[in-house]
Amino acid sequence: VPDVILVNPHYIRRHGGGVVPPIGLCYLAAVLRTQGASVEIVDLAACYPDFIAARRAEPLEHFANVLEALPSPPRLIGIGPLVTATLATTATLARAAREHGDAEIAIGGPLCAVPGAARELSGFVDCDWLVAGDGERPIAELFRGERSAGCAEGATRLGGDDPTPWREPTLDALPVPARDLLDHSRYGSSLRRNLAGAPMTSAFLSRGCPYSCSFCAAPLSSGKVVRRFSMPRVREELDACAALGFGEIVFYDDCLFVRSPKLDARVAEFAAAIEQSGWRGDYQLELRCDAVTAMADETLERLRASGCRQINMGIEKGHVAGLAAMRKRLTPETAQIATERVVEAGIRAAGTFILGGAGEGHEELEATVAFAESLDLDFAHFNPLALYPGTPLFAEQFPDRGDKWLQLCTNPDLAPFGDVLWRSEVLSLSDVLSKVEDAYSRFYDGRRLTRVLSRVPPRERDSVTASYARLRSERPASWHLERAGDPHPDRYAA
């Protein structure tokens, strides 16, 4: 019997995307192991990648079967990461955990760091502990039974005060995530799915972001100061990835590199750490456009030479006013230069765009889609603007609600796919969602595919072609409102 079961809740997924390992849970598992705990991870998001609300019973039954098969209950069941999209499923999973024994139940993840969480979630999620911020130290303390009912950093009893997000001061103190607990065959980026070969994994080598984009929930949980692993610790993690045979890594860090006087030196150090490690493969990085434009040519070349095959940039909008309204501190021009530089360096360029927001009408939506089309990107994603509790945007939109966000986030009209989606007097939600569909079909056209194929290695051509077909035809269907229809809503009501 495992001492601890960690569950990654299922959620309404977008079609045609990749399946990404729950690296946060692997971090928790690694720390628990240092405490002598045996740990199992149940990744329902990966087991049910085609999940839609109307099929909620299967993952829940899967979890119940896991618990029923155990001769005795585990000591601790951890469910998360809790985000708005996993609120409903987390509540049903916690209830199932309660019904199947007397394990302590802890919930953690970004939403637990939102003001009001302890009060809002009590009565909705039946759990013992709420964990905010970095979960490693709090979960180890919970496992050792060192927590009492009082308020403490990182974890509190549900219904009490909000937990103060815990931020691990020395990241190097964290053990390498326990990726060995996952079934690697389930994971792959959308592109990789068609490439036979070594499995992919994800990594997170820093915590925190110093920016304050009004729509983003990340800094609330992980803080505004960027904490990074030392290069020896980065090498250790890459060696561990090599030992497990991973051929591709996606670095999901919010701000592994930001524009600063140390930017080029930091990137060079990182590339050197990769080259000195035992790991060889392809990797993807998330970067702000202004970090790309601030890099020297040699630095971008260094990234490519060390295996960087794709850079993902949050471009968000094609018009200055929209970017300013979101406090993104970027301009379309920066995005254009960044895209050109990435492509010139021989790296795939991918951008994400957000449709909807203050001051946007049909013209502004069109300006963003047309801007995306005009860029020489290899891949693009278009999302309707989501309003996450705890963000400045959420407060602007719902000024009278204070920290009372649960009712809004669980209202199926406002949050048909799990996140509260933007709408306004000039743009209905259907307008925004139709534009998302339009954007995918326009962006993934034959001309772009021909151009992109001319610069990818022959062995990748089939997978790029297949990805384009999926993103053009499958992805838009993610936003059909009828998909979210649940025939048995009462079964899942908290």
Q: Which is nearer to ligand SF4, 135 or 223 (CB)?
A: 223
Residue 373 CB coordination number (10 Å): 16
DSSP 137-163: HHHHHHHHT---SS--BSEEETTSSPP
Task: Quote the CA–CA distance of 417 and 13 in Å, as a whole number.
Answer: 8
Question: Judged by CB, which is closer to ligand SF4: 128, or 253?
Answer: 253
- Of the residues 254, 282, 364, 378, which one makes contact with ligand SF4 according to CB under 6 A: 254
C-alpha neighbours within 13 Å on the C-beta side of residue 37: 27
For residue 254, what are its two tokens?
Answer: 């919010």
217 versus 311: smaller Cβ distance to ligand B12 = 217
Nearer to ligand B12, 59 or 78 (CB): 78
CB burial of 154-188 (b: ≥16 within 10 Å; e: otherwise) equals: bbbbbeeebbebbbbeebeebbbbbbebbebeebb
d(CA 47, CA 416): 22
38 contact partners, CB below 8 Å, separation of at least 6? 1, 2, 3, 4
Which residue in 219, 318, 384, 390 binds ligand SF4 (CB under 6 A)?
A: 219
d(CA 199, CA 332): 35
Q: Which of 59/219 has CB closer to ligand SF4? A: 219
Residue 430 and residue 432: Cα distance in Å, rounded? 5
Number of residues that bind ligand SF4 (CB under 6 A): 10
Residue 196, φ and ψ in degrees, nearest 5:
-65, 155
Per-residue x/- marks for ligand SF4, 288-327, CB under 6 A?
x-------------------------x-------------
Tokens of 433: 């969602």
d(CA 281, CA 279): 7
One-letter amino acid identity for 379? F
DSSP class of residue 133? B
Nearest to 437 by CA among 479, 378, 381: 479
Find the part of the chain contacting ligand SF4 (CB under 6 A) among 67-75, 167-175, 211-219, 380-388: 211-219
CB of 106 to ligand B12, least distance (A): 5
Given ligand B12, ligand SF4, none, residue 476, with its beta carbon under 5 to 8 Å by kind, binds none
Toward ligand B12, which CB reaches closer, 224 or 459?
A: 224
**Binding to ligand SF4 by residue 252, rule CB under 6 A?**
no
Q: Could you say which DSSP state residue 175 is in?
A: P
Q: Which does 354 bind (CB under 5 to 8 A by kind): ligand SF4, ligand B12, none?
A: none
Amino acid 7 reads: V
Least distance to ligand SF4 from the beta carbon of 316, Å? 8
Which does residue 213 touch among ligand SF4, ligand B12, none (CB within 5 to 8 A, set by kind)?
ligand SF4
Q: What is the maximal distance between C-alpha atoms in the chain?
A: 62
- The distance of closest approach from Cβ of residue 214 to ligand SF4 in the complex, given in angstroms and rounded to an integer, is 9
Residue 108 contact among ligand B12, ligand SF4, none, beta carbon within 5 to 8 Å by kind? ligand B12
- Candidates 91, 84, 32, 27; CA nearest to 63 is 91
Contacts of 89 (CB under 8 A, 6+ apart): 9, 10, 11, 44, 56, 59, 60
Secondary structure of residue 345 in the 3-state scheme: coil
Q: Closest distance between ligand SF4 and the C-beta of residue 339, in Å?
A: 17
CB 456 within 8 A of CB 464: yes
Return the residues of window 438-467 that contact ligand SF4 according to CB under 6 A.
none
Give the range of 113-121, 214-222, 241-249, 353-361 binding ligand SF4 by CB under 6 A: 214-222
Residue 200 partner contact from ligand SF4, ligand B12, none using kind-dependent CB cut-offs of 5 to 8 Å: none
Question: Which part of the chain contacts ligand SF4 (CB under 6 A), choosing from 48-56, 213-221, 360-368, 409-417?
Answer: 213-221
Q: Which amino acid does the sequence have at 226?
A: V
Stretch that binds ligand SF4, among 67-75, 204-212, 350-358, 457-465 (CB under 6 A): 204-212
Which of ligand SF4, ligand B12, none sits in contact with 288, Cβ below 5 to 8 A by type? ligand SF4
Contact positions vs ligand B12 (CB under 6 A): 8, 11, 14, 20, 22-24, 27-28, 45, 78-81, 83-86, 106-111, 131, 134-136, 139, 204, 216-218, 221-222, 252, 254, 388, 419
Nearer to ligand SF4, 115 or 188 (CB): 115
When asked if residue 263 is in the footprint of ligand SF4 (CB under 6 A), the reply is: no
List contacts with ligand SF4 (CB under 6 A).
Answer: 209, 211-213, 216, 218-219, 254, 288, 314
